[in-house]
Chain A
């Protein structure tokens, strides 16, 4: 049970080779109909109660993944003082029902030898189990039960709040979490992306007092018409759908509607600094507001290509700052998909504190140049190839396939968005990348966060 965002952040920052969006996107080569990118035949159905069911058979002898995606995350935390609640609620989903109290629930999963957990992000919460295919019916029974009949006492609720605080504590020693908190708080004024999925510490500490709100959260968002079931692996689609109908049909629809408040224009550069109490190399984070994810937006896909072209390990900037000058030991860019407008973020960890300014200037100069001159077609082609093969490399286990499918469906509402997204890459050219660079990377749209070591009392 975990919060995903800071971990994704970490992964993107550490593995510069994968400094492309979490869900990689692909481009078909030019000419003719776009090549399909998703290597399996997915079937998609919608039950009468609105639950979308996607089944993906693949070669994974004897293993199946059962993923339930709820289209609610910290984005849904609109009431003040209740940040972090989507994630906390994810924890509560393991506290049992009348039929399967938590110890019995755990016993069943244990007998199955299942790998089971959940994670929460800004936009969605995912409950995942990977187990033997022969266990699929048991899994459907067990999992559907908790979405319909979750039941927990105040004591269990309050103890789980302790575990959530423990999760905050375990992440605290790493600078990324604090940077992430500060960046959002500075870049957003009203939208719920202003807080991390983990939530503000004061709200986490107040969680034990919010039992009633937890019931409301469940009522509002844990509904079939706000959820998706993905089954991937060694599975026959007809049987999987029959089982889904049998076990998930009684789940009552009635999801609440969410209206998020999108921030207006940023209206000027923003800056924030974190004084870090443990020795660290200084971090420099530059972030620009960009539009929400749309599968058919060339602008959106062009930002993906730009992130890889300009900031991955093969970029001229990486060669200059990391390999040649050796001023920086970590450089990455992330353009993460979100349902509402979010951020394009560049992060550098600088080896010499005196060089932070020069590194900032080098990043800005790179972006200015991108806004003036088109990247060569060969570079664009190499990026598209990288994105395609990175996607295919991720299609290797039922769990990863289910997570990818779940990620697209939570963003867009349907599985066809995978191919739509990749077809849109076709239209990305050097000129389109130049245009988005000129449009978005303006100082008045930028937020800067720095973090550096400063001893207590300084």
Chain B
């Protein structure tokens, strides 16, 4: 990959690759202009745009949970003052381009990639959507209904793995903004009115709350033009919602969510005190890659649980929120968070082996905490991350997204930070970070499974009953021997905090 500084000499002089592009409005206001991340590459026929607003579901007003997501949907699928949404679609169609708007917990990004043949036409549309959204009542009704349906008939009913992850967040961040899906709650969505969307937009989609990102083969004048336009957004610096320190779990605090299901989807986790802003985050990334790198066979969890035992399709771990970019196995940019958690994702297992799988994952974590990494494991994992992370930024749009996220954390892009830090990192630093931040005694646990399986699992967890496993297929003797230890691995499940909740009651209010 080409280094950013080679691509944009102008940026190289400025800290963290950040520049302020001042437009006419900026000069008039005496402000520095709109912060911008620019990653031009003149030979690229595609141009990527990311306009980032510092607003997300954490900013939902109480009782209007889901408003940030709905406001984003109204931008993406609501047209502009001049064009109905249908007319906007007609105009975008010949370019095979789209205007995406995605809200997450902390930020919302307006994004798109277009062939440079069509840049002028595309931007004329994007500009309208950004500066003069339509906010039509019929679009509002449609999108609010879609968001409600997504919550009630997708998340709660047809997406057990994500329901498990959201149930974990709900337990970990109980009563806090991170503790509900970005799409909100049923009661919150029902109470939102079109005027709420309008005032939310006016208060949060402001010139003082926006960052511009451009990458690919755009002409130089384009950055100035967009930056100047963004200064025409409403003024105002909205106050960010506070994100309190979440309560640390005591023992294993389990939530079992019930719905008709063939299998059991499992998530485990606890809050972490570090993010990409902190030096300890990077050695933890190495440790985590060794334990459970997403969608690879590098991790111990994957090898022990899937390859050796055939328990399920995959087993991974994370040291920050990980949303997979569609069509790849890499983390999606522009989903930064002020607080992060360590999590383990056990993909659906047969309900009969759920207790065993939970024990095995926690036992592997415990082993990592007790033994740390060897020098050889550390070096192999470090080398992997150094090369693998370069693949995160294969497109202009993704490179740009990572640049912008670096600023959120007050660092360089994740890829640049790894390139800078990994060569000098030592196994001692990694093992010290493991000891400081990871443990296998206290964790939140979320399981999504059938009601009949839930009762048995709850009792087994609470009583710490042994969970021997029986295989219908041939198994290596050493695996069978280890299984005996896994089956009685102690999980201190807090019976008083163990909850069984029907899926239909999740995120109701």
- Quick one: given A155-B476, A159-B473, A351-B145, are A175 and B95 in contact (CB under 8 Å)? no
Q: Say whether B473 contacts A132, CB under 8 Å.
A: no
Residues of A close to B236: CB separation below 8 A: none
Query: Which of B44, B98, B295, B475 meets A117, CB within 8 Å?
Result: B295
Q: Which residue of B lies closest to A162 (CB)?
A: B310
A141-176 vs B, CB cutoff 8 Å, 1 = contact: the mask equals 000000000000011001111110111011011110
Query: Which of A60, A117, A169, A382 meets B312, CB within 8 Å?
Result: A169
Query: Which of B90, B118, B394 meets A60, CB within 8 Å?
Result: B394
Residues of B close to A281: CB separation below 8 A: 149, 153
Q: Say whether B394 contacts A110, CB under 8 Å.
A: no
The interface size of chain A toward B, counting residues with CB under 8 Å, comes to: 72
* A113 to B161 alpha-carbon distance, docked (Å): 27
Residues of A close to B94: CB separation below 8 A: 381-382, 385-386, 389
* A303 to B181 alpha-carbon distance, docked (Å): 40
Min CB distance B394 to A, Å, is 4
Interface residues of A in 81-128 (CB under 8 A from B): 94, 102-103, 106-107, 110-117
Min CB distance B69 to A, Å, is 16
Q: Say whether A111 contacts B89, CB under 8 Å.
A: no
B385 at the binding interface (Cβ < 8 Å): yes
- Quick one: given A175-B158, A280-B158, are A313 and B306 in contact (CB under 8 Å)? no
- Quick one: given A277-B260, A326-B145, are A173 and B93 in contact (CB under 8 Å)? no
* A166 to B504 alpha-carbon distance, docked (Å): 25
Stretch in contact with the other chain, from B57-65, B240-248, B344-352: B344-352
Residues of A close to B45: CB separation below 8 A: 39, 392
B472 at the binding interface (Cβ < 8 Å): yes
Query: Which of A62, A169, A208, A386 meets B263, CB within 8 Å?
Result: A169
Query: Which of A11, A175, A386 meets B93, CB within 8 Å?
Result: A386
B298 at the binding interface (Cβ < 8 Å): yes
- Quick one: given A62-B1, A115-B391, are A166 and B115 in contact (CB under 8 Å)? no
Instruction: Count chain A CB atoms within 10 A of each CB in B97, B113, B297 and give the residue with the most.
Output: B297
Q: Which residue of B lies closest to A233 (CB)?
A: B394
* A318 to B107 alpha-carbon distance, docked (Å): 31
Min CB distance A80 to B, Å, is 22
Q: Which residue of B lies closest to A102 (CB)?
A: B307
Instruction: Count chain B CB atoms within 10 A of each CB in A107, A329, A351 and give the residue with the most.
Output: A329
Query: Which of B117, B161, B328, B390 meets A63, CB within 8 Å?
Result: B390
Interface residues of B in 470-491 (CB under 8 A from A): 472-476
Query: Which of A166, A278, A314, A397 meets B259, CB within 8 Å?
Result: A278
Tally A-B pairs: CB < 8 A: 207
B194 at the binding interface (Cβ < 8 Å): no
Q: Say whether B157 contacts A279, CB under 8 Å.
A: yes
A33 at the binding interface (Cβ < 8 Å): no
Query: Which of A113, A117, A329, A398 meets B390, CB within 8 Å?
Result: A113
* A94 to B303 alpha-carbon distance, docked (Å): 12
* A319 to B86 alpha-carbon distance, docked (Å): 7
A53 at the binding interface (Cβ < 8 Å): no
A243-277 vs B, CB cutoff 8 Å, 1 = contact: the mask equals 00000000000000000000000000000000001
Q: A278-B153, A385-B93 provided; 17 other pairs, C-beta below 8 A?
A: A117-B329, A130-B394, A132-B387, A154-B474, A155-B473, A159-B309, A159-B473, A163-B310, A166-B347, A169-B263, A170-B348, A279-B157, A314-B90, A323-B142, A326-B142, A381-B94, A389-B117
21 residue pairs from A and B, CB less than 8 Å apart: A39-B45, A59-B43, A111-B380, A111-B383, A115-B388, A117-B329, A131-B387, A159-B473, A161-B310, A165-B310, A167-B313, A169-B312, A169-B350, A170-B263, A170-B312, A172-B263, A279-B504, A314-B93, A385-B95, A397-B394, A398-B394
Binding site for B on A (CB under 8 A): 11, 17, 39, 59-63, 94, 102-103, 106-107, 110-117, 130-132, 154-155, 158-163, 165-167, 169-170, 172-175, 208, 277-281, 312-314, 319, 322-324, 326, 329, 351, 381-382, 385-390, 392-393, 396-399, 456
Binding site for A on B (CB under 8 A): 1-2, 43-46, 85-86, 89-90, 93-98, 113, 115, 117-118, 138, 141-142, 145-146, 149, 152-153, 156-161, 259-263, 265, 295-298, 303, 306-314, 326, 328-330, 347-350, 380-381, 383-391, 394-396, 472-476, 504
What are the 10 closest A-B residue pairs judged by CB atoms, nearest first? A113-B387, A162-B310, A158-B473, A389-B96, A166-B312, A159-B310, A166-B313, A113-B388, A385-B94, A390-B96
